């Protein structure tokens, strides 16, 4: 009995020992570490920016290809926008003085057509009247220069001069072809020119008549949350474009009057066409006035000799200094708000990509885009934050 009782009492001890025995040791669960843990924050941020920039560049490339394919429409439309930026203030002025809207629009568009057509007609008639004399003087000046080079210490032969002349002519033809054509060439046939002129006139007319409604339709193409930013940026860009066109006309007028009067008082022929060409060329900032001024000096060199050409060169440089150091900082700087280096680079890049059209539209495009981007980045288009009084009143209600 005692033995059996001891066996019965020993079993719970065995069970207790088994229960109190430690469990078999288990290995810790593996910790999963993401690959991004080994990448620094700077690299992650750069990668996030990189793919967004690539998407933006791809979108811009597609847009550029689309513009190039539709250049017969895009170029006249851009010209119409620039002309409308000049005419809208004038048409609004007439309407404020109780002119009917249709009459103000018609007078504005007919006025710009008559002004541009009159200037071109004046240039063509003056050049045509003096073309024979200009050709004769050019041949005489070329012969005189050729004789001087043959007798100069440079020891050049006539074959050398002919070879150099052919090389210079080929280079000039290639460069002028690239400048005139470019990616946005609208063609040189009469049909292309006529179609472009008509499309420009019709586009300008409808912008003057219904510009705000057209812009409202464009804004509605964007998502609802982005419409405030798009509308505000577009209006800010339009103000900048309008200021640019008005200021550029003033700068071009000063250049044309200065160089044209200098040519007239020095007895240089074709002074009126020179002034008109300087006026039109000055719409391409920096480069246009320099190129037309060089043309004026070339005409003076052919007709009047090196001394008159040197004096006219001084006049051209003086006008350029007046524009660069007085007009540009005081007037153009406040209207465009683009650094002169950016202006030069924009004109150079625009001329390489799109020829004369690119050089003409480069600066207004850069200036307008700069203002639009700054407006969006400033956040001025966002609705104002509610005041504490307004928040308290809403909670009280």
How many CB atoms are closer than 10 A to CB 242? 17
Contact 111, 89 (CB under 8 A): no
Which positions ≥6 away from 285 have C-beta within 8 Å?
248, 332, 343, 347, 363
* CA distance to 19, 134, 206, 214, 337, per residue, from 22 (Å): 8, 114, 92, 83, 81
Phi-psi label, residue 98: left if phi above 0, alpha if psi -120 to 50, beta otherwise: left
Phi, psi dihedrals of residue 62, rounded to the nearest 5°: -65, -40
Q: What angle do CA 279, 84, 63 make, to 5 degrees?
A: 100
Could you list the beta-strand ranges (E) of the chain: none
Q: Write out the chain's pLDDT in tens, 397 residues.
A: 444 444 444 444 444 444 455 555 555 555 555 555 666 777 778 888 888 888 888 887 888 788 777 778 888 898 899 999 999 999 999 999 989 998 999 999 999 999 988 888 888 888 888 777 777 877 777 777 777 777 777 777 777 777 777 777 776 656 555 445 554 454 556 677 788 889 999 999 999 999 899 999 999 998 888 888 899 999 999 998 998 888 888 888 888 999 999 999 988 888 888 888 888 888 776 677 778 888 889 888 888 888 998 999 999 989 888 877 777 666 666 666 677 777 778 878 877 777 777 778 888 888 888 889 888 888 777 777 666 666 566 666 5
DSSP at 290? H
Burial (CB < 10 A; 0-12, 13-18, 19+), residue 151, is exposed
Closest CA to 131 of 316, 299, 306: 299
The pLDDT of residue 7 is 46
* Encoded tokens for 190: 């009469």
Alpha helices in the chain (DSSP H): 2-20, 41-69, 71-96, 101-129, 131-151, 158-180, 190-220, 227-265, 271-281, 287-304, 306-322, 333-336, 340-378, 388-396
Nearest to 333 by CA among 256, 253, 244: 244
Burial string for 252-291 (b: 16+ CB within 10 Å, else e) reads: bebbbebbbebbeebebbbbbbbbbbbbbbbbbbbbbbee
Q: Which residues contact 270 (CB under 8 A, 6 or more apart)?
A: 126, 127, 130, 134, 263, 299
Question: Residue 107's closest CA among 82, 86, 90, 84?
Answer: 90
Of 281, 273, 272, 271, nearest to 251 by C-alpha is 281
**Dihedral sign from CA coordinates of 295, 298, 300, 302:** negative
Instruction: Report which DSSP code applies to 35.
Output: G
What confidence score (pLDDT) does residue 220 get?
92
Question: How far apart (Å, rounded) are the C-alpha atoms in residues 108 and 113?
Answer: 9
Paired tokens of 291: 């190129």
Per-residue model confidence (pLDDT) at position 81: 92
359 closest CA partner among 341, 380, 345: 345
Give the model's pLDDT for residue 2: 46
**Distance between CA atoms of 79 and 266, rounded to whole angstroms?**
36
């Amino acid at each position: 009995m005692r033995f059996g009782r001891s066996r019965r009492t020993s079993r719970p001890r065995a069970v207790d020992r088994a229960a109190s025995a430690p469990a078999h040791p288990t290995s810790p669960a593996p910790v999963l570490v993401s690959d991004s843990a080994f990448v620094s924050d700077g690299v992650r941020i750069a990668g996030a920016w990189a793919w967004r920039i690539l998407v933006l560049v791809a979108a811009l490339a597609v847009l550029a290809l689309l513009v190039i394919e539709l250049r017969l429409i895009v170029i006249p439309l851009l010209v119409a926008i620039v002309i409308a930026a000049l005419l809208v203030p004038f048409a609004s002025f007439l309407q404020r003085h109780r002119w009917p809207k249709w009459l103000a629009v018609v007078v504005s568009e007919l006025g710009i057509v008559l002004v541009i057509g009159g200037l071109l007609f004046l240039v063509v008639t003056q050049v045509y009247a003096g073309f024979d004399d200009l050709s004769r003087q050019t041949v005489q000046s070329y012969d005189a220069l050729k004789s001087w080079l043959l007798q100069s210490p440079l020891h050049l032969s006539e074959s050398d001069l002919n070879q150099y002349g052919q090389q210079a002519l080929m280079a000039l033809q290639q460069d002028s072809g690239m400048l005139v054509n470019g990616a946005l060439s609208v063609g040189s046939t009469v049909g292309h020119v006529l179609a472009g002129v008509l499309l420009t006139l019709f586009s300008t007319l409808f912008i003057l008549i219904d510009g705000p409604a057209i812009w409202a339709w464009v804004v509605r193409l964007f998502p609802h949350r982005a419409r405030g930013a798009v509308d505000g940026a577009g209006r800010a860009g339009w103000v900048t474009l309008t200021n640019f066109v008005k200021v550029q006309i003033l700068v071009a007028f000063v250049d044309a009057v200065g160089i044209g009067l200098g040519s007239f008082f020095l007895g240089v022929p074709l002074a009126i066409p020179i002034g008109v060409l300087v006026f039109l060329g000055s719409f391409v900032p920096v480069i246009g006035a320099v190129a037309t001024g060089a043309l004026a000096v070339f005409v003076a060199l052919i007709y009047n000799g090196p001394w008159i050409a040197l004096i006219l060169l001084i006049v051209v440089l003086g006008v350029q200094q007046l524009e660069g150091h007085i007009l540009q900082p005081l007037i153009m700087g406040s209207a465009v708000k683009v650094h002169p280096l950016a202006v030069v680079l924009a004109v150079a890049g625009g001329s390489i990509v799109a020829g004369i059209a690119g050089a003409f539209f480069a600066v207004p495009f850069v200036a307008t885009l700069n203002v639009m981007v700054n407006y969006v980045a400033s956040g001025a288009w966002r609705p104002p934050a509610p005041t504490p009084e307004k928040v308290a009143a809403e909670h009280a209600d």
